[in-house]
Amino acid sequence: MRKTNLILSVILIAVCGLFYLMISQLPSEASLYPLFVTTLFLILSLILLFKTYFNKEDGEETTFKGIELKQLLFVIVTCGLYVILINITGYVLATILYVLITLIGLRVDKRNSIFISIGFCLFVYVVFKVLLNVPLPKGIII
């Protein structure tokens, strides 16, 4: 956990820096409260940094141990592409495609994948759009 905490506190302090930069561009009467909370955040992050730095004995590094990185990245990328695709084709088409690709990518067998992706879409359309009147994202085409 030590390495994770060190990296974490550095990132948090960098976030503080970013916010300080933006605060400096605000008129002074509007900057007081953000300045107050950002400073509070900075102080706590600094405490974490020092606490971790001076506490040498701190267990094994397990945070990202044994994760399936390829699979995780695959899921993140397909999710991102899915959102982009929705903008173009609208929710229904994009969803059938996305669910299908993700399922096959995660090694669900093909027949089940087709069945699930179409079934899920149908379910969403009927339950959300028709029964509950929840709007589904629209794209350029549909």
* Separation of alpha carbons 59 and 3, rounded Å: 10
Question: Which burial class, exposed, middle or buried, applies to 117 when counting CB atoms under 10 A from its CB (0-12, 13-18, 19+)?
Answer: buried
Q: Does 37 bind other proteins (CB under 8 A)?
A: yes
Nearest 5°: CA angle at 93, between 91 and 94? 65
Q: Does 103 bind other proteins (CB under 8 A)?
A: yes
**Separate counts of helices (H) and strands (E) for the chain:** 5, 0
Nearest 5°: CA angle at 87, between 95 and 125? 40
Q: Does 92 bind other proteins (CB under 8 A)?
A: no
Choosing from 56, 60, 133, 141, the residue that interacts with other proteins (CB under 8 A) is 133
Q: Does 12 bind other proteins (CB under 8 A)?
A: yes
Q: Does 3 bind other proteins (CB under 8 A)?
A: no
Tell the smallest beta-carbon distance from residue 27 to other proteins (Å): 6
Convert residues 47-86 into a mask of x (bound to other proteins by CB under 8 A) and - (unbound). xx--x-----------xx--xxx-xx-xxx-xxx-xx--x
What is the binding site for other proteins (CB under 8 A)? 1, 4-5, 8, 12, 15, 19, 22, 26-27, 29-30, 33-34, 37-38, 40-41, 44-45, 47-48, 51, 63-64, 67-69, 71-72, 74-76, 78-80, 82-83, 86-87, 91, 95, 98-99, 102-103, 106-108, 116-117, 120, 124, 128, 132-137
